[in-house]
Amino acid sequence: MRIRGGASLGGTIDISGSKNLSLPAMMASLLTDQPLSLSNVPRLADVISAIELLDYLGVGVRRSSSSSLVLCCSNLKTTEAPYDFVRKMRASVLALGPLLSRFGKASVSLPGGCAIGARGIDLHIKAMQQLGAEVTIENGYINASAPNGLDGCDVNFPISSVTGTENTLMAAVLARGTSRILNAAMEPEVVEFANLLNTMGANITGHGTPIITIEGVESLHGASFEIMPDRIEVGTYAIATVATNGRVMLKGCIPDHLSSFLEILKAAGGVYEPVDGGILVYRGQDKIEPVSICTAQYPGYPTDLQAQYMTLMTIANGASSITENIFENRFMHAPELCRMGANIAINGRTATVIGVRKLSGAQVMATDLRASVSLVIAGLIASGETIVNRLYHLDRGYENLEVKLNNCGADMERLEG
Protein backbone atom coordinates (compact mmCIF):
# COMPACT_ATOMS: atom_id res chain seq x y z
CA MET A 1 0.00 0.00 0.00
CA ARG A 2 1.41 3.40 -1.02
CA ILE A 3 0.41 6.17 1.38
CA ARG A 4 1.10 9.87 0.95
CA GLY A 5 0.88 11.36 4.44
CA GLY A 6 -0.24 14.75 5.74
CA ALA A 7 -4.01 14.86 5.21
CA SER A 8 -6.39 15.30 8.15
CA LEU A 9 -9.18 12.72 7.90
CA GLY A 10 -12.65 14.17 7.53
CA GLY A 11 -16.00 12.56 6.73
CA THR A 12 -17.92 9.41 7.67
CA ILE A 13 -16.85 5.78 8.01
CA ASP A 14 -19.39 2.93 8.14
CA ILE A 15 -18.12 0.36 10.60
CA SER A 16 -18.28 -3.26 9.40
CA GLY A 17 -19.41 -6.31 11.35
CA SER A 18 -17.12 -7.78 14.00
CA LYS A 19 -14.49 -10.24 12.73
CA ASN A 20 -14.06 -11.79 16.17
CA LEU A 21 -17.78 -12.46 16.51
CA SER A 22 -18.30 -13.60 12.89
CA LEU A 23 -15.72 -16.39 13.18
CA PRO A 24 -17.20 -18.21 16.21
CA ALA A 25 -20.73 -17.48 14.93
CA MET A 26 -19.95 -19.28 11.65
CA MET A 27 -18.56 -22.29 13.57
CA ALA A 28 -21.79 -22.46 15.58
CA SER A 29 -23.52 -23.65 12.37
CA LEU A 30 -21.93 -27.06 13.11
CA LEU A 31 -24.16 -27.38 16.18
CA THR A 32 -27.45 -27.86 14.31
CA ASP A 33 -28.82 -29.41 11.10
CA GLN A 34 -30.92 -26.32 10.48
CA PRO A 35 -29.93 -23.14 8.61
CA LEU A 36 -28.09 -20.40 10.51
CA SER A 37 -28.47 -17.01 8.84
CA LEU A 38 -25.87 -14.37 9.76
CA SER A 39 -26.15 -10.75 8.58
CA ASN A 40 -23.61 -7.88 8.67
CA VAL A 41 -20.75 -10.36 8.19
CA PRO A 42 -17.63 -8.46 7.03
CA ARG A 43 -15.94 -9.42 3.75
CA LEU A 44 -12.52 -10.40 5.13
CA ALA A 45 -9.86 -12.96 4.28
CA ASP A 46 -10.47 -14.65 7.65
CA VAL A 47 -14.20 -15.02 6.88
CA ILE A 48 -13.32 -16.60 3.51
CA SER A 49 -10.92 -18.99 5.30
CA ALA A 50 -13.72 -19.97 7.70
CA ILE A 51 -16.11 -20.55 4.76
CA GLU A 52 -13.48 -22.78 3.10
CA LEU A 53 -13.05 -24.85 6.27
CA LEU A 54 -16.80 -25.23 6.86
CA ASP A 55 -17.31 -26.15 3.19
CA TYR A 56 -14.60 -28.82 3.55
CA LEU A 57 -16.35 -30.20 6.65
CA GLY A 58 -19.58 -30.44 4.66
CA VAL A 59 -21.46 -27.34 5.80
CA GLY A 60 -23.49 -25.73 3.02
CA VAL A 61 -22.58 -22.03 2.87
CA ARG A 62 -24.13 -19.43 0.60
CA ARG A 63 -24.00 -15.66 0.48
CA SER A 64 -27.59 -14.45 0.62
CA SER A 65 -26.42 -10.84 0.15
CA SER A 66 -23.12 -8.95 0.11
CA SER A 67 -22.88 -9.18 3.88
CA SER A 68 -25.16 -12.11 4.77
CA LEU A 69 -24.38 -15.81 4.96
CA VAL A 70 -26.66 -18.82 5.34
CA LEU A 71 -24.87 -21.87 6.75
CA CYS A 72 -26.40 -25.32 7.09
CA CYS A 73 -24.74 -28.43 8.50
CA SER A 74 -27.31 -31.05 7.50
CA ASN A 75 -24.87 -33.61 6.16
CA LEU A 76 -21.38 -33.37 7.57
CA LYS A 77 -18.66 -34.98 5.42
CA THR A 78 -15.86 -35.24 7.95
CA THR A 79 -14.97 -34.31 11.53
CA GLU A 80 -11.38 -33.51 10.60
CA ALA A 81 -10.11 -29.90 10.34
CA PRO A 82 -6.83 -30.31 8.44
CA TYR A 83 -3.55 -28.46 8.99
CA ASP A 84 -3.86 -26.50 5.72
CA PHE A 85 -6.92 -24.70 7.03
CA VAL A 86 -5.83 -24.29 10.66
CA ARG A 87 -2.37 -22.92 9.81
CA LYS A 88 -4.00 -20.15 7.76
CA MET A 89 -6.36 -19.13 10.51
CA ARG A 90 -5.97 -20.26 14.12
CA ALA A 91 -9.62 -19.50 14.87
CA SER A 92 -10.27 -22.78 13.01
CA VAL A 93 -9.68 -24.44 16.40
CA LEU A 94 -13.24 -23.24 17.13
CA ALA A 95 -14.37 -26.29 15.14
CA LEU A 96 -13.24 -28.52 18.03
CA GLY A 97 -16.05 -27.77 20.48
CA PRO A 98 -19.04 -28.06 18.10
CA LEU A 99 -17.75 -31.18 16.28
CA LEU A 100 -17.13 -32.91 19.60
CA SER A 101 -20.40 -31.81 21.10
CA ARG A 102 -22.72 -32.69 18.21
CA PHE A 103 -20.85 -35.58 16.55
CA GLY A 104 -18.91 -37.02 19.49
CA LYS A 105 -15.55 -36.71 17.77
CA ALA A 106 -13.18 -34.17 16.26
CA SER A 107 -9.71 -34.21 14.79
CA VAL A 108 -8.32 -30.67 14.60
CA SER A 109 -4.79 -29.73 13.61
CA LEU A 110 -2.80 -27.91 16.28
CA PRO A 111 -2.54 -24.29 15.08
CA GLY A 112 1.21 -24.03 15.63
CA GLY A 113 2.95 -20.80 16.48
CA CYS A 114 1.79 -17.29 15.69
CA ALA A 115 3.77 -14.11 15.08
CA ILE A 116 2.47 -12.41 18.21
CA GLY A 117 3.11 -15.22 20.66
CA ALA A 118 2.95 -18.95 21.50
CA ARG A 119 -0.85 -18.81 21.72
CA GLY A 120 -1.22 -22.36 23.01
CA ILE A 121 -4.59 -24.02 23.04
CA ASP A 122 -3.86 -26.17 26.11
CA LEU A 123 -6.79 -24.59 27.93
CA HIS A 124 -9.19 -25.52 25.11
CA ILE A 125 -7.98 -29.15 25.32
CA LYS A 126 -8.23 -29.25 29.15
CA ALA A 127 -11.80 -27.95 28.92
CA MET A 128 -12.83 -30.73 26.54
CA GLN A 129 -11.19 -33.33 28.81
CA GLN A 130 -13.00 -31.95 31.86
CA LEU A 131 -16.29 -32.29 29.97
CA GLY A 132 -15.49 -35.97 29.48
CA ALA A 133 -13.74 -36.20 26.11
CA GLU A 134 -10.78 -38.51 25.50
CA VAL A 135 -8.09 -36.35 23.89
CA THR A 136 -4.82 -37.49 22.35
CA ILE A 137 -2.26 -35.39 20.48
CA GLU A 138 -0.42 -37.08 17.66
CA ASN A 139 1.11 -36.07 14.34
CA GLY A 140 0.23 -32.45 15.09
CA TYR A 141 -3.47 -33.19 15.51
CA ILE A 142 -5.81 -33.00 18.49
CA ASN A 143 -7.95 -36.16 18.40
CA ALA A 144 -10.94 -35.80 20.69
CA SER A 145 -13.71 -38.32 21.18
CA ALA A 146 -16.80 -38.56 23.36
CA PRO A 147 -18.86 -41.42 21.86
CA ASN A 148 -21.39 -41.23 24.70
CA GLY A 149 -21.63 -37.45 24.68
CA LEU A 150 -20.26 -34.94 27.18
CA ASP A 151 -21.11 -34.47 30.86
CA GLY A 152 -21.60 -30.96 32.23
CA CYS A 153 -19.17 -29.82 34.93
CA ASP A 154 -17.22 -26.80 36.20
CA VAL A 155 -14.51 -25.78 33.72
CA ASN A 156 -11.92 -23.50 35.28
CA PHE A 157 -9.69 -21.24 33.15
CA PRO A 158 -6.46 -20.20 34.98
CA ILE A 159 -6.07 -17.58 32.22
CA SER A 160 -9.29 -16.22 30.78
CA SER A 161 -9.37 -17.05 27.08
CA VAL A 162 -11.73 -15.57 24.47
CA THR A 163 -11.84 -18.50 22.03
CA GLY A 164 -11.28 -20.93 24.92
CA THR A 165 -14.52 -19.68 26.45
CA GLU A 166 -16.28 -19.84 23.06
CA ASN A 167 -15.10 -23.41 22.36
CA THR A 168 -16.23 -24.50 25.82
CA LEU A 169 -19.66 -22.88 25.33
CA MET A 170 -20.13 -24.89 22.13
CA ALA A 171 -19.07 -28.10 23.87
CA ALA A 172 -21.30 -27.51 26.92
CA VAL A 173 -24.55 -26.46 25.20
CA LEU A 174 -25.36 -30.08 24.21
CA ALA A 175 -23.71 -31.77 27.21
CA ARG A 176 -25.74 -33.64 29.83
CA GLY A 177 -26.59 -31.43 32.81
CA THR A 178 -25.12 -28.16 34.03
CA SER A 179 -21.72 -26.68 33.23
CA ARG A 180 -20.09 -23.54 34.57
CA ILE A 181 -17.14 -21.73 33.00
CA LEU A 182 -15.08 -20.13 35.78
CA ASN A 183 -12.89 -17.12 34.94
CA ALA A 184 -14.75 -16.87 31.65
CA ALA A 185 -13.76 -14.19 29.12
CA MET A 186 -16.11 -11.19 29.26
CA GLU A 187 -15.34 -9.58 25.88
CA PRO A 188 -18.46 -8.23 24.06
CA GLU A 189 -17.80 -10.80 21.30
CA VAL A 190 -18.15 -13.61 23.88
CA VAL A 191 -21.35 -12.08 25.31
CA GLU A 192 -22.90 -11.69 21.85
CA PHE A 193 -21.78 -15.22 20.93
CA ALA A 194 -23.63 -16.60 23.98
CA ASN A 195 -26.67 -14.56 22.90
CA LEU A 196 -26.44 -16.20 19.46
CA LEU A 197 -26.31 -19.68 21.00
CA ASN A 198 -29.35 -18.83 23.16
CA THR A 199 -31.15 -17.68 19.98
CA MET A 200 -30.40 -21.18 18.64
CA GLY A 201 -32.08 -22.76 21.69
CA ALA A 202 -29.20 -22.99 24.16
CA ASN A 203 -29.68 -22.15 27.84
CA ILE A 204 -26.77 -19.90 28.87
CA THR A 205 -26.75 -17.35 31.69
CA GLY A 206 -24.08 -15.19 33.34
CA HIS A 207 -22.27 -14.30 30.11
CA GLY A 208 -20.42 -11.01 30.61
CA THR A 209 -19.49 -12.05 34.17
CA PRO A 210 -16.59 -14.31 35.22
CA ILE A 211 -18.97 -17.26 35.76
CA ILE A 212 -21.09 -18.49 32.83
CA THR A 213 -23.68 -21.23 33.51
CA ILE A 214 -24.85 -23.54 30.72
CA GLU A 215 -27.79 -25.96 31.07
CA GLY A 216 -27.28 -28.67 28.43
CA VAL A 217 -30.14 -29.13 25.95
CA GLU A 218 -31.03 -31.97 23.55
CA SER A 219 -30.38 -30.07 20.35
CA LEU A 220 -30.11 -26.59 18.86
CA HIS A 221 -32.13 -25.15 15.98
CA GLY A 222 -31.45 -22.60 13.27
CA ALA A 223 -31.62 -18.83 13.80
CA SER A 224 -31.17 -15.47 12.13
CA PHE A 225 -28.62 -13.21 13.81
CA GLU A 226 -27.02 -9.83 13.07
CA ILE A 227 -23.29 -9.47 13.74
CA MET A 228 -22.53 -6.44 15.93
CA PRO A 229 -20.15 -3.68 14.72
CA ASP A 230 -16.42 -4.34 15.06
CA ARG A 231 -15.23 -2.41 18.12
CA ILE A 232 -11.56 -2.85 17.14
CA GLU A 233 -12.28 -1.27 13.77
CA VAL A 234 -13.94 1.64 15.63
CA GLY A 235 -10.87 2.08 17.85
CA THR A 236 -8.53 1.84 14.89
CA TYR A 237 -10.26 4.63 12.93
CA ALA A 238 -10.73 6.74 16.07
CA ILE A 239 -6.95 6.66 16.61
CA ALA A 240 -6.31 7.46 12.93
CA THR A 241 -8.67 10.45 13.20
CA VAL A 242 -7.01 11.89 16.32
CA ALA A 243 -3.51 11.17 14.95
CA THR A 244 -4.23 13.10 11.72
CA ASN A 245 -6.04 15.90 13.59
CA GLY A 246 -9.17 15.07 11.65
CA ARG A 247 -12.88 14.92 12.33
CA VAL A 248 -14.70 11.67 11.47
CA MET A 249 -18.16 10.25 12.18
CA LEU A 250 -17.82 6.53 12.92
CA LYS A 251 -21.24 5.13 12.04
CA GLY A 252 -22.51 1.94 13.70
CA CYS A 253 -20.61 1.52 16.92
CA ILE A 254 -21.44 0.76 20.54
CA PRO A 255 -19.33 3.10 22.76
CA ASP A 256 -19.99 0.92 25.84
CA HIS A 257 -17.91 -1.83 24.19
CA LEU A 258 -14.87 0.49 24.24
CA SER A 259 -15.10 2.42 27.50
CA SER A 260 -11.50 1.74 28.64
CA PHE A 261 -10.16 2.68 25.22
CA LEU A 262 -12.30 5.83 24.89
CA GLU A 263 -11.17 7.02 28.33
CA ILE A 264 -7.52 6.75 27.22
CA LEU A 265 -8.27 8.43 23.87
CA LYS A 266 -9.85 11.35 25.73
CA ALA A 267 -6.89 11.63 28.13
CA ALA A 268 -4.56 11.68 25.11
CA GLY A 269 -6.41 14.69 23.68
CA GLY A 270 -9.14 13.03 21.63
CA VAL A 271 -12.82 13.94 21.84
CA TYR A 272 -15.73 11.64 21.06
CA GLU A 273 -19.40 12.56 20.99
CA PRO A 274 -22.07 9.87 20.74
CA VAL A 275 -24.21 10.80 17.73
CA ASP A 276 -27.17 8.68 16.62
CA GLY A 277 -25.79 5.15 16.27
CA GLY A 278 -22.15 6.16 16.21
CA ILE A 279 -19.53 8.54 17.54
CA LEU A 280 -18.05 11.78 16.17
CA VAL A 281 -14.28 11.79 16.84
CA TYR A 282 -11.78 14.64 16.62
CA ARG A 283 -8.74 16.03 18.44
CA GLY A 284 -9.77 18.46 21.15
CA GLN A 285 -6.45 20.25 21.52
CA ASP A 286 -3.27 21.09 19.61
CA LYS A 287 -0.96 18.56 21.27
CA ILE A 288 -1.40 14.81 21.80
CA GLU A 289 -0.84 14.04 25.49
CA PRO A 290 1.48 11.12 26.38
CA VAL A 291 -0.69 8.64 28.33
CA SER A 292 0.65 5.25 29.44
CA ILE A 293 -1.41 2.07 29.08
CA CYS A 294 -1.35 -1.60 30.08
CA THR A 295 -3.36 -4.03 27.94
CA ALA A 296 -5.67 -6.38 29.81
CA GLN A 297 -8.63 -8.71 29.33
CA TYR A 298 -11.98 -7.00 28.98
CA PRO A 299 -13.00 -4.54 30.35
CA GLY A 300 -9.36 -3.39 30.39
CA TYR A 301 -7.56 -1.73 27.47
CA PRO A 302 -7.80 -4.14 24.49
CA THR A 303 -4.58 -5.72 23.24
CA ASP A 304 -5.99 -5.46 19.69
CA LEU A 305 -5.72 -1.66 19.94
CA GLN A 306 -2.17 -1.60 21.35
CA ALA A 307 -0.23 -1.31 18.08
CA GLN A 308 -2.49 1.46 16.76
CA TYR A 309 -2.14 3.38 20.03
CA MET A 310 1.67 3.12 19.89
CA THR A 311 1.59 4.99 16.58
CA LEU A 312 -0.43 7.78 18.20
CA MET A 313 2.09 8.01 21.06
CA THR A 314 5.03 8.35 18.62
CA ILE A 315 3.96 11.98 18.03
CA ALA A 316 2.77 12.74 21.59
CA ASN A 317 4.09 15.67 23.56
CA GLY A 318 6.37 13.62 25.85
CA ALA A 319 7.14 10.05 26.98
CA SER A 320 4.66 7.23 27.58
CA SER A 321 4.91 3.52 28.32
CA ILE A 322 2.88 0.72 26.75
CA THR A 323 2.76 -2.62 28.57
CA GLU A 324 1.45 -5.65 26.66
CA ASN A 325 0.13 -8.16 29.19
CA ILE A 326 -1.77 -10.53 26.90
CA PHE A 327 0.70 -11.66 24.24
CA GLU A 328 4.44 -12.06 24.67
CA ASN A 329 5.56 -10.80 21.28
CA ARG A 330 3.19 -8.07 20.14
CA PHE A 331 5.67 -5.20 19.57
CA MET A 332 6.88 -6.14 16.08
CA HIS A 333 5.47 -2.86 14.71
CA ALA A 334 7.93 -0.92 16.93
CA PRO A 335 11.12 -1.43 14.85
CA GLU A 336 9.16 -0.55 11.70
CA LEU A 337 7.85 2.65 13.34
CA CYS A 338 11.44 3.49 14.37
CA ARG A 339 12.41 3.31 10.69
CA MET A 340 9.92 6.14 10.18
CA GLY A 341 11.65 8.23 12.85
CA ALA A 342 9.78 7.11 15.97
CA ASN A 343 11.69 6.86 19.25
CA ILE A 344 10.66 3.58 20.93
CA ALA A 345 12.62 1.36 23.32
CA ILE A 346 11.38 -2.13 24.14
CA ASN A 347 12.16 -3.77 27.46
CA GLY A 348 10.38 -7.11 27.81
CA ARG A 349 6.65 -6.46 27.93
CA THR A 350 7.01 -2.68 28.10
CA ALA A 351 7.67 -0.24 25.29
CA THR A 352 8.75 3.31 26.15
CA VAL A 353 7.73 5.81 23.49
CA ILE A 354 9.24 9.32 23.41
CA GLY A 355 7.18 11.58 21.18
CA VAL A 356 8.85 13.16 18.17
CA ARG A 357 7.68 16.14 16.15
CA LYS A 358 7.12 14.25 12.94
CA LEU A 359 7.43 10.81 11.34
CA SER A 360 8.91 10.48 7.86
CA GLY A 361 7.63 8.12 5.19
CA ALA A 362 9.56 4.88 4.47
CA GLN A 363 9.24 1.35 3.13
CA VAL A 364 7.93 -0.79 6.04
CA MET A 365 6.81 -4.37 6.50
CA ALA A 366 3.64 -5.64 8.14
CA THR A 367 4.13 -8.60 10.48
CA ASP A 368 0.64 -9.25 11.86
CA LEU A 369 -2.88 -7.91 11.55
CA ARG A 370 -2.86 -5.04 14.03
CA ALA A 371 0.81 -4.15 13.39
CA SER A 372 -0.09 -3.66 9.70
CA VAL A 373 -2.76 -1.09 10.45
CA SER A 374 -0.49 0.73 12.94
CA LEU A 375 1.92 1.23 10.01
CA VAL A 376 -0.90 2.54 7.82
CA ILE A 377 -1.76 5.12 10.50
CA ALA A 378 1.94 6.05 10.68
CA GLY A 379 1.90 6.52 6.90
CA LEU A 380 -1.10 8.83 7.20
CA ILE A 381 0.71 11.15 9.64
CA ALA A 382 4.24 10.88 8.18
CA SER A 383 5.66 13.43 5.77
CA GLY A 384 6.25 12.02 2.30
CA GLU A 385 5.47 8.56 1.01
CA THR A 386 5.18 5.27 2.92
CA ILE A 387 4.93 1.81 1.38
CA VAL A 388 3.45 -0.87 3.64
CA ASN A 389 4.36 -4.37 2.40
CA ARG A 390 2.68 -7.74 3.10
CA LEU A 391 -0.89 -6.46 3.00
CA TYR A 392 -2.28 -9.96 3.41
CA HIS A 393 -1.99 -9.32 7.15
CA LEU A 394 -4.18 -6.24 6.81
CA ASP A 395 -6.80 -7.95 4.63
CA ARG A 396 -7.44 -10.53 7.31
CA GLY A 397 -9.17 -8.01 9.53
CA TYR A 398 -10.12 -4.78 7.75
CA GLU A 399 -12.82 -4.56 5.08
CA ASN A 400 -12.22 -1.94 2.34
CA LEU A 401 -9.70 -0.06 4.50
CA GLU A 402 -8.24 2.17 1.78
CA VAL A 403 -11.70 2.91 0.34
CA LYS A 404 -12.97 4.01 3.75
CA LEU A 405 -9.90 6.16 4.44
CA ASN A 406 -9.63 7.65 0.93
CA ASN A 407 -13.31 8.67 1.26
CA CYS A 408 -12.14 10.68 4.26
CA GLY A 409 -9.34 12.45 2.38
CA ALA A 410 -6.46 10.00 2.71
CA ASP A 411 -4.18 9.45 -0.29
CA MET A 412 -3.69 5.68 -0.43
CA GLU A 413 -3.23 3.27 -3.33
CA ARG A 414 -2.93 -0.51 -3.35
CA LEU A 415 0.04 -1.48 -5.56
CA GLU A 416 0.47 -4.85 -7.24
CA GLY A 417 3.00 -6.82 -5.14
Q: Which residues bind ligand EPZ (CB under 6 A)?
A: 19-20, 23, 91, 117-124, 159, 161-164, 185, 303-304, 326-327, 369-370, 397
Q: Which of 201, 195, 253 is nearest to 228 (CA)?
A: 253
For 90, the enclosing helix (H) or strand (E) is: none
CB of 313 to ligand EPZ, least distance (A): 19
CB of 283 to ligand EPZ, least distance (A): 25
**Do the bridges between strand 211-215 and strand 247-251 make them parallel or antiparallel, or are there none, so unpaired?**
unpaired
CB of 397 to ligand EPZ, least distance (A): 6
| DSSP summary character for residue 220 | -
| Ordered alpha helix ranges (H), 268-400 | 306-313, 333-338, 369-381, 392-395
d(CA 360, CA 338): 10
CB of 107 to ligand EPZ, least distance (A): 18
Q: Which is nearer to ligand EPZ, 102 or 370 (CB)?
A: 370
| Ordered alpha helix ranges (H), 156-273 | 162-172, 188-199, 231-243, 259-267
Distances (CA, A) of 407 to 44, 241, 277, 343: 19, 13, 20, 31
CB of 304 to ligand EPZ, least distance (A): 5
Q: Which is nearer to ligand EPZ, 42 or 269 (CB)?
A: 42
Q: Which is nearer to ligand EPZ, 186 or 382 (CB)?
A: 186
Q: Which is nearer to ligand EPZ, 204 or 359 (CB)?
A: 204
Distance of CA 8 to the CA centre of its chain: 27
Q: Which is nearer to ligand EPZ, 120 or 222 (CB)?
A: 120
Q: Which of 73, 114, 153, 408 is catalytic?
A: 114
Terminal-residue alpha carbon distance, the chain: 9
Catalytic residue flag (residue 338) = no
Catalytically active residues are 114
